[in-house]
Structure formats: structure tokens, C-alpha cells
Amino acid sequence: MNARDTILARIREALRVPAPLPHLKSRNAQAAAVPAAAGGHAGLTVLPLDVATPWLPDGGDSPAEQLQLLTENLEKLRATVVQVADAQAAAEYVARLAHDRGWGRVAYHDHSLVGPLAAALPCETYRVDAPACDKRALESCDAGITTCEALISQTGSLLVSSATGGGRGLSILPHVHVVVATLDQIVPTLGDALHQAKERHAGRLPSMLSFITGPSRTGDIERILVLGAHGPKELFVILVG
Amino acid sequence: MIAHPSDLPRLAKKKFLHDAAEHVRDTSHRSFVRKALGGYYTSRDTQKARFRDWEQARDAASLAKWSAVNRLDELLPRFVANFEANGGQVHWARTAEEARDIVLNLLRAAKAKAVIKSKCMTSEEIHLNAAMEEDGYGVVESDLGEFIQQLRGEPPYHFVFPCMHVRRDEISDLFQKNLGTAPTDSPEELTMIARRHMRQLYVDADVGITGANFLVAETGQISITENEGNARLTAALPRVHIAISGIEKVVEHLDDLAVLLPMLATAGAGQPMTCYNTLYAGPRKDGECDGPEEMHLVLLDNQRTAILADPEQRDSLHCIRCGACLNVCPIFKNVGGFTYGTTYQGPIGSVITPHLRGLADWNHLSGASSLCGACTDACPVRIDIHHHLLHNRRNAARTAPSRWERLGHKLFVMVARRPWLFATGGAVFRKTLGLVKAVRPPLVRNWLATRDLPAAPEKSFRAEWRSRKDDILHERS
């Protein structure tokens, strides 16, 4: 037997004796688990989102609450959040940032929100998806501008994808990551963001979907927090609308 | 991995006792580790309080893993089919050796010149770096903690915080010696040294090796959790991406991650979410501007199916390797990570290592517990960790009872069945207890080193009972 068949046979053999349910504290969880377990398998299709969401951290009910939570969470993570009126204002903000920081080259990808920002920059730009990204060129960039698929108020996370966010490298290799998004992209929970991604990319998942929660960080030296371990040291979130 | 030659029985236990005694005496090391963990407790509690109901969230996380592990026969093939449909290639490894060979063959096929690696405990488990170096492949650990440990020539001290035992001045010296950098006592500056050193290595590497935290059956994605961005870079820039994962990492739904990701971050490091949680569905797709041309996944058994076959301890496969049980364990905090001599340290390591490497030689880890249950309370997926340590003790006693224990039990049975012998033995014992305390003979010396003997009573219980029986029974009636 090859390795695959041996391992699968061992698994089938091992599972012939059922394991008891874990010691659960809540009635809801038991109510969901017991009939499923009795049905011969767990089959807890309802549990994670429909039952568990009310137990997880709050994502806010109204759009205003969600925006406030998102901003608070991002600031706690030491990201910079800016809310601007329109694309024009966003472009001005990023141009000023590029000027103040003395950026020489900024990477971006083709997108209706990102394009105008790149066009207004006072420095050299590098478009990563025209058509393929040269990693050495990307490495020489001071910042990367991308859009995202969703912003999650519950945790202050952004969801970026390789299909709609300029590939894999753009949001991780440059020293500064600038994300531009619209207010209607805010969703309350991680579950909502995952649902949305599944629907949007049904049948053809992007090769990478990444939740980004603040600038890159490490606590490896004496458990002291340092930002910018390998990914971006700074994260700017520009909300348009 | 057979890590201990059979001609040296109980080597692991001897080493454990020796190292534990050594570390317990090292108070500066202990206080350093305690201080490093101090901030963890505060931030973990802050993040736990943001959950509307932490205990019920633990139920959900526990059930998600329970339901996946108990249907691994169905979900693992489903995951593999979907992962392959996404364009990934799957390789099955029964043992550590098979896994090493698979990776080495992939490196040969890719004509790899430079390999970069992000943190991957399964690669520690199969001793991949040593095998790669033997075959002439240089490999760089990109996670800051793993990089420091690689330069020090040491395994990880803690499977989430690999170099939490190392002081900043030691790291400064290490970087000065190996990278030629100027000394500094700033963790920020030390981190930037590693950042600058690593950057070109990501760009130059042609193969990137990562681990995997979750395998999502319904979508065929693998999920990788990290803070530094090194795994993102490792899976973005090289031409080939190889991930190594235990077979037990499967979850059924993408939705399960909505519960598991924040719980992993909160329980393990006191964060709302780990900085990067990334789902990979195969190599670069048409229309994407970068990413690897090939993605390989090595699925490792290495005795996991043996744990699966034990329904009592099957839940130890629910482990999401958050490290919470290490952070709260009084034994871990006192004996330190290296004393265990295992890939997975702390309470969960003490439960699973006897399964991975053999109960006879690793049962002593079941005793590395005060049975306080702090690990079980801390576990986000409700693994019954401290009871499993007891189960391992029982199983070891059943399969290979120690000679002294057997002799002791026989002796006790012989005495207990003969009242006159029991009385005489008791009398002798009461008279000589003081003497034992004074002389400290070798057999009991270890026991007495950390404990005090109570004073022996004047009379035996039976004598006492005889003299007071009438009064006591009278009072009662």
C-alpha cells in the first residue's frame, strides 16, 4: 500500500471506536452537538456562525457603530486611520504623505480607487500588475498602495486578496502599506468577511486571501512589542466617503 | 522520530530529571521567563474580556475541532480533492523519514539554490533542517525567534515564543558575531537588523517552506497564522511553495475560522487577531501578477493516527498549537522549555510526546505536572490536558509496571492480609520513623529533599480505636 492508502486506512480503523463529546459548558452548544453526534457524525453546519457569533467580540450593529469600532481597533493596533470626503481628498493625503516621507518610488495596482492616488503622487510609481510583478522592482519601493475586499470592525482587520489587491507581494514587501477603501466595505465580523469572500469568488478562489490586523509585529525579543518585523512597519487605512 | 537509542534505556528521563533540577536552581532564568510571560497574562485577559462569552466561544471552537477530527476519514480526502482542484499537489508521509525524503526530492526537482523557511513546528518534529544541511541545502529561518535559535544552534524553547529565554544582550552579541552588526540593547534595533538581513534572502530564495495552522476541507485552502509577515513573504516571492502539515489540522468549514482565528490569537498571545492570517488556495492563478508557480503540501502522519485510535485521548489532536497551556504551566515556568527534550513542550507536549515517541521512554513527562489543571482551563479548544497526563500514567503502569512498584504492592498485600504482621510492622515503623528522618537512607533521600516527614503517633489507629471505641459509640447513640 502506498502512503496515502496506509494513512487513510489507519484513520478509518482508528475512528471505528467513537470518542465522547467534549465537556461543553453551554446548553446551546450541547443542543447543537448532541443530535448531530447521534446522527453518526458531527455535522455541525449551523454551529460556527449562527450559534457562535453572539459569543465572539462585538462587531457593532449600525454602520456608525461599526465605523467607530473599526477605527478604535485599528488605532489600538497602531495603524493610522483617515476618513476623507472623496477620491480627490484621498489622493491629496497620500501625495502629502509621499512628500513628507520623501518616498522615491511607490508600488500600486490597477483599481478604480487606487489609480487616481498613484497618478497624483509626486514620485516615481511602479504598477505591479502590468502584467506581472518583478519582485526586485517591488522590493525597491518605499510604499505599496492597495485596495481591500473588506474591513472587519470586530477585530480591526482588513481582508486583501491576490485577485483584487495586486497579488501577494504588494501588501507585504514594501515598508509602508496604504489601503484605500470605501465605507460600505466595512463588515461587522470575520464570519461576514469570509462569507462574502466565498460568494464573491465562488468556484474560483484567489490563490491568497489574507486578513491583515495592524502593521507587522513581533514580540520575540523579551516579549517586547516591535512593529515592522518583516512586513510593513506602518499601515495607513484611508476610508473614502 | 526515534530520538533515543534503545541501548540507553530511560536516557530521556535521566536527562529530564537532571535538567529540571538544574533549571529550578537557576533563579535568574526563572524570573526572566516569568517576567517575559507577565505581559501575556494582562493582554490575554484584556482580549478575553472583549469576547461576549469566552466559555461559549470555547465550546464552539472545541466542537469545530471535535467534529473535524472525528470525521477525518471523510474530511481529509475532501480537503485533498479541493486542494488539488485549486492546483496544489499533495504528498503523503507516514513517517518523519518519508516527509524528509519528500521535501528533499522536491528541492532537487526545483533545483533549489536558496531556501527560506517560516516557522513550522512539523519541520522541527521531522528534523528537516539537519536533513537539508546534510544534503547541501542552506536554509534560513525567517521568523525572528527561529532565526535567533538557528544562529544559537538550539531548538525552540517554546513552540510559539522560540527564544523567550534569551536576553537582548545575548542577541546583540549573537548578531555582532554572525552578522557583524554594532552592539545595541534595543529590541527595536535588533529586530531591524534581522529585517535588513532577511530582505534580500526572501527575494533571492527559489523555494519557500511554511507550516499550516488549518486545512479547510470545504474550500481546499490552507490557513497560516503569523505576526511578522515572514510567512506571507515566504509564500509570495519564491518560485515554489512547500507547506508541511499534520493530518489533524483539518476543519470542515471556512466559517470555523471565524471562531478559531481570534481564539488562537487571544489564548496564545493575548491579541485580538494575529497580524497575518492567510488562506492559500494553490499556486498563482491566471490573472494574478505574482505568487509561486508550484504549491506542494506534505501531509504528515508520524503517529498521529495512533493518537486518533485512542478515543480517550483523541481530543489531544484538537490542539491548535496556541501555546496557552505552556504559558500558564507552573512546571514549564520552573523547569524551562529545553528540559522537556521534545518538539512540543509543556503540558500538551507531555500528553502527545509519549504517543509520538513511545510511552516507555517518555512516560516521565506524565509526572511533569502538578495536576493543577491550569492547562485544561487555558485550552481554547477544551482538551482535557491534565487528565490525559493521568491517563498516560495509568497506561504506562498497565503496560510496563516498574519492578519496585510491583514488589511494593506484593509486599503490602502480604502484610495487609495478616493482622499480626500488620500490627508488628506498624509498631516497627512508628519506632523507626524518627531514625529514617535522621539517617536519610538513599532510598528515601530524594523524597525527603523536598518534603518533611510528620512525627509518628504514639499509638496505632487500631490501638486508639480500641481504647476510645466505647465513648465514641456512646456519644453517637
Sketch the domain layout of chain B as residue ranges.
8-50+318-400, 55-302, 419-476
| Domain containing residue A207: CATH number | 3.40.50.10420
What is the pLDDT averaged over residues B243-263? Answer: 95
Asked if pLDDT for residue A41 goes beyond 60, the answer is: no
Type of residue at B355? H
Dist CA B382 CA B26 (whole Å): 33
Residue B51, beta-bridge partner list: A57
Interface test with B, best of A160, A230, A233, A234 (most B CBs within 10 A): A230
Phi–psi pair at A136, nearest 5 degrees? -70, -40
User: CA nearest A79 in B: which residue?
Assistant: B275
End-to-end CA distance of chain B: 67
Q: Which helix (H) or strand (E) holds B21?
A: helix B11-25
* Residue A18: inside a domain: no
Q: Which helix (H) or strand (E) holds A194?
A: helix A190-200
Tell me the residues of chain A between 124 and 183 that have a Cβ less than 8 Å away from chain B: 128-129, 131-133, 135-136, 139, 154-157, 162-163, 166-169, 172-173
Instruction: State the pLDDT confidence band at B7, using cuts at 50, 70 and 90.
Output: very low
Q: B55-302 falls under which CATH superfamily?
A: NagB/RpiA/CoA transferase-like (3.40.50.10420)
Whether residue A151 contacts residue A186, with contact meaning beta carbons closer than 8 Å, is answered with yes
Structural domain range at position A121 = 63-240
Of A23, A205, A229, the CB nearest to B228: A229
User: CA nearest A47 in B: which residue?
Assistant: B60
B336-374 tens-digit pLDDT: 999 999 999 999 999 999 999 998 899 999 999 998 999
End-to-end CA distance of chain A: 61
Can you read off the three cell numbers belonging to residue A11?
484513520
Task: Verify whether the Cβ–Cβ distance A7 to B92 is below 8 Å.
Answer: yes
Asked if pLDDT for residue A185 goes beyond 60, the answer is: yes
Q: Which helix (H) or strand (E) holds A145?
A: strand A143-146
Can you read off the three cell numbers belonging to residue B453?
516527614
Q: Are A162 and A197 part of one and the same domain?
A: yes
Q: Are A137 and A45 part of one and the same domain?
A: no
Q: Is B294 on the interface with A (CB under 8 A)?
A: no
Q: Are A99 and A33 part of one and the same domain?
A: no
User: CA nearest A207 in B: which residue?
Assistant: B281
* pLDDT above 90: percentage of residues in chain B: 81
Rounded to the nearest angstrom, the minimum Cα separation between B105 and chain A is 16
Whether residue B90 contacts residue B80, with contact meaning beta carbons closer than 8 Å, is answered with yes
Task: Verify whether the Cβ–Cβ distance A26 to B76 is below 8 Å.
Answer: no
DSSP state, residue A142: S
Task: Verify whether the Cβ–Cβ distance A211 to B273 is below 8 Å.
Answer: yes
* Residue A23: inside a domain: no
Instruction: State the pLDDT confidence band at A80, using cuts at 50, 70 and 90.
Output: very high
> What residues in A contact B92, CB-CB < 8 Å?
2-4, 7
Q: Select from A38, A57, A76 the last residue of a domain.
A: A57
What is the pLDDT averaged over residues A15-28? Answer: 84
Of A4, A52, A232, the CB nearest to B57: A52
Quick check: helix, strand or coil at residue B116?
strand
Q: Is A100 on the interface with B (CB under 8 A)?
A: no
CA distances A168 to A150, A177, A210, B263, Å, are 16, 13, 9, 26
Q: Choose among B380, B245, B398: nearest CA to B312.
A: B398
User: CA nearest B229 in A: which residue?
Assistant: A231
Type of residue at A56? L
Of A73, A205, A212, the CB nearest to B86: A205
> What residues in B contact A74, CB-CB < 8 Å?
none
Dist CA B125 CA B245 (whole Å): 11
Q: Are A106 and A142 part of one and the same domain?
A: yes
Task: Say what the pLDDT of residue A35 is.
Answer: 56
Q: Is A229 on the interface with B (CB under 8 A)?
A: yes
Quick check: helix, strand or coil at residue B432?
helix
Task: Verify whether the Cβ–Cβ distance A44 to B63 is below 8 Å.
Answer: yes
Annotate B30-42 with three-state secondary structure.
HHHHHHHHHHHHH
User: CA nearest B299 in A: which residue?
Assistant: A4
Rounded to the nearest angstrom, the minimum Cα separation between A145 and chain B is 15
Instruction: State the pLDDT confidence band at B4, using cuts at 50, 70 and 90.
Output: very low
In which residue are the cell numbers 534569551 written?
A: B166
Q: Is B278 on the interface with A (CB under 8 A)?
A: yes
Whether residue B225 contacts residue B277, with contact meaning beta carbons closer than 8 Å, is answered with yes
Asked if pLDDT for residue B8 goes beyond 80, the answer is: no
Q: Is B255 on the interface with A (CB under 8 A)?
A: yes
Task: Verify whether the Cβ–Cβ distance A14 to B54 is below 8 Å.
Answer: no
Sheet of A186-187, strands arranged across? A186-187, A150-152, A157-161, A208-212, B276-280, B221-226, B214-216, B250-251
Give me chain B's average pLDDT, please: 93
Q: Are A42 and A154 part of one and the same domain?
A: no
Task: Verify whether the Cβ–Cβ distance A3 to B54 is below 8 Å.
Answer: no
Task: Verify whether the Cβ–Cβ distance B203 to A226 is below 8 Å.
Answer: no
Instruction: State the pLDDT confidence band at A24, using cuts at 50, 70 and 90.
Output: confident
Q: Is B254 on the interface with A (CB under 8 A)?
A: yes
Task: Verify whether the Cβ–Cβ distance B291 to A167 is below 8 Å.
Answer: yes
> What residues in B contact A14, CB-CB < 8 Å?
305-306, 308-309
> What residues in B contact A41, CB-CB < 8 Å?
67, 70-71, 74
* Residue A156: inside a domain: yes
* Residue A19: inside a domain: no
> What residues in B contact A55, CB-CB < 8 Å?
51-54, 56-57, 60
Q: Are A46 and A116 part of one and the same domain?
A: no
Q: Select from A7, A42, A57 the last residue of a domain.
A: A57
Residue A240, beta-bridge partner list: A84, A182
Of B58, B237, B252, the CB nearest to A135: B237
ipTM of the complex: 0.94
CB-facing half-sphere around the CA of B121: CA atoms within 13 A: 24
Dist CA B250 CA B68 (whole Å): 6
Interface test with A, best of B227, B307, B355, B385 (most A CBs within 10 A): B227
What is the pLDDT averaged over residues B404-415? Answer: 90
B410-446 tens-digit pLDDT: 999 999 999 999 999 899 989 888 888 888 888 788 8
Whether residue B59 contacts residue A24, with contact meaning beta carbons closer than 8 Å, is answered with yes
* pLDDT above 70: percentage of residues in chain B: 98
Give me chain A's average pLDDT, please: 91
Interface test with A, best of B161, B190, B279 (most A CBs within 10 A): B279
Instruction: State the pLDDT confidence band at A51, using cuts at 50, 70 and 90.
Output: low
Asked if pLDDT for residue B398 goes beyond 90, the answer is: no
CB-facing half-sphere around the CA of B270: CA atoms within 13 A: 18
Instruction: State the pLDDT confidence band at B3, using cuts at 50, 70 and 90.
Output: very low
Between A and B, how many residue pairs show a Cβ–Cβ distance under 8 A?
A: 345
Task: Verify whether the Cβ–Cβ distance A26 to B235 is below 8 Å.
Answer: no
State the burial class of residue A40 (Cβ atoms within 10 Å of its Cβ: 0-12, 13-18, 19+): exposed
CA distances B250 to A9, A12, A116, B270, B373, Å, are 17, 15, 42, 24, 27
* Residue A229: inside a domain: yes
Sheet of B139-141, strands arranged across? B89-93, B294-300, B240-246, B207-210, B115-117, B139-141
State the burial class of residue A27 (Cβ atoms within 10 Å of its Cβ: 0-12, 13-18, 19+): exposed
Task: Say what the pLDDT of residue B455 is.
Answer: 84
Task: Verify whether the Cβ–Cβ distance A211 to B255 is below 8 Å.
Answer: no
Task: Say what the pLDDT of residue B6 is.
Answer: 39
B182-236 tens-digit pLDDT: 999 999 999 999 999 999 999 999 999 999 999 999 999 999 999 999 999 999 9
Instruction: State the pLDDT confidence band at A45, using cuts at 50, 70 and 90.
Output: very low
> What residues in B contact A164, CB-CB < 8 Å?
none
* Residue A47: inside a domain: yes
Asked if pLDDT for residue A237 goes beyond 60, the answer is: yes
CA distances A149 to A127, A194, A234, Å, are 19, 10, 20
> What residues in A contact B66, CB-CB < 8 Å?
19, 21-22, 33, 42
Of B70, B166, B237, the CB nearest to A42: B70
Q: Choose among A181, A180, A150, A176: nearest CA to A235.
A: A176
Task: Say what the pLDDT of residue A29 is.
Answer: 67
Q: Are A71 and A43 part of one and the same domain?
A: no
Task: Verify whether the Cβ–Cβ distance A222 to B284 is below 8 Å.
Answer: no
Tell me the residues of chain B between 2 and 61 that have a Cβ less than 8 Å away from chain A: 36-37, 39-40, 50-60
Whether residue A148 contacts residue A209, with contact meaning beta carbons closer than 8 Å, is answered with no
- Torsion angle of C-alpha atoms B178, B180, B185, B189, degrees rounded to 10: -100
> What residues in A contact B256, CB-CB < 8 Å?
48
How many degrees, rounded to 5, is the angle at CA A134 between CA A130 and CA A135?
140
Q: Are A36 and A140 part of one and the same domain?
A: no
What is the pLDDT averaged over residues A201-205? Answer: 90
Domain count, chain A: 2
B63-120 tens-digit pLDDT: 889 989 999 999 999 999 999 999 999 999 999 999 999 999 999 999 999 999 999 9
Can you read off the three cell numbers belonging to residue B159?
513552540
Could you say which architecture CATH assigns to the domain B8-50+318-400? Orthogonal Bundle (1.10)
Point out the least confidently predicted range of B118-132, B351-365, B366-380, B451-465.
Answer: B451-465
What is the pLDDT averaged over residues A152-159? Answer: 98
Q: Are A48 and A130 part of one and the same domain?
A: no
